[in-house]
Amino acid sequence: MKITTQISRIVFAFTLLVAIWTMTVHLGKPLLGPHSFRQTQTAISTYYMAKDATMFADYITPVLGKPWRIPMELPVYQWLTARWHNLTGMALDASGKLVSVLAWLACMAPVWILLRSLRFERPQILLTLALLLSSPLYLFWSNAFLIESTGVFLALAMVACVVRGHEMKSVPWLVAGLLFGIVAILCKATTWALAAGAGGLLLVFRDGWPQWRALLGRHEEKSPGETPGPRGVTILAASSLCLLLPFIAGKLWLSYGDSIKSANPFARQILLSSSPHQAKWNYGTWEQKLDPATWQVIWRHITDQLLVPFPLIGPFLIPLVLLAAAIAAPRRIPLMLVFLAGFAAGPLVFTNLYYEHSYYWSANGIWLLLAVGTALAGISEFRPGKSWPQFASAALAVLMVISGFTAWFQRFLPILTALPKREQITEAWTKPVQAIVPPGRTLLMVGNDWNPAAHYYAGRMGLAQPASEGIRFPGPEFEESMKLLGPDEKPGAMVIADSLLTQENQPAIAQILQQLGMSLNGQRSAFGVMFPAQDLQSGTPAE
Work out the pLDDT band at 543, boundaries 50, 70, 90. Answer: very low
Tell me: pLDDT of 231 over 70. Answer: no
Cα–Cα distance, 188 to 379 (Å, whole number): 35
Work out the pLDDT band at 170, boundaries 50, 70, 90. Answer: very high
CB of 67 closer than 8 Å to CB of 460? no
Tell me: pLDDT of 399 over 80. Answer: yes
pLDDT at 4: 77
pLDDT at 230: 61
Tell me: pLDDT of 1 over 90. Answer: no
pLDDT at 25: 94
Coil, helix or strand for 467? coil
CB of 403 closer than 8 Å to CB of 310? yes
pLDDT at 176: 97
Name which residue leads in pLDDT, 299 or 5: 299
Mean pLDDT value across residues 454-467: 90
Reported as half-sphere exposure (CB side, CA atoms, 13 A), residue 75 has a value of 31
Tell me: pLDDT of 213 over 60. Answer: no
CB of 113 closer than 8 Å to CB of 362? no
Tell me: pLDDT of 212 over 70. Answer: no
Work out the pLDDT band at 217, boundaries 50, 70, 90. Answer: low
Smallest CA-to-CA distance from 193 within 141, 250, 148 is with 250
**What percentage of the chain exceeds 90 in pLDDT?**
75
Mean pLDDT value across residues 404-416: 95
CB of 15 closer than 8 Å to CB of 397? no
Please state whether 446 falls in left (phi above 0), alpha (psi between -120 and 50) or beta.
beta
Ordered alpha helix ranges (H), 381-437:
388-407, 413-418, 422-425, 431-434
Query: Looking at the DSSP assignment, which residues form a beta bridge with residue 495?
Result: 445, 530
Cα–Cα distance, 113 to 229 (Å, whole number): 27
**What percentage of the chain exceeds 70 in pLDDT?**
92
- Furthest-apart CA atoms within the chain: distance in Å: 94
Mean pLDDT value across residues 141-148: 96
Coil, helix or strand for 307? coil
Mean pLDDT value across residues 515-522: 91
Tell me: pLDDT of 210 over 80. Answer: no
Cα–Cα distance, 531 to 151 (Å, whole number): 40
pTM for this model (two decimals): 0.92
Work out the pLDDT band at 205, boundaries 50, 70, 90. Answer: confident
Smallest CA-to-CA distance from 408 within 129, 23, 148 is with 23
Tell me: pLDDT of 215 over 80. Answer: no
pLDDT at 498: 87
Mean pLDDT value across residues 480-503: 90
**pLDDT per position as a tens digit, 280-289:** 999 999 999 9
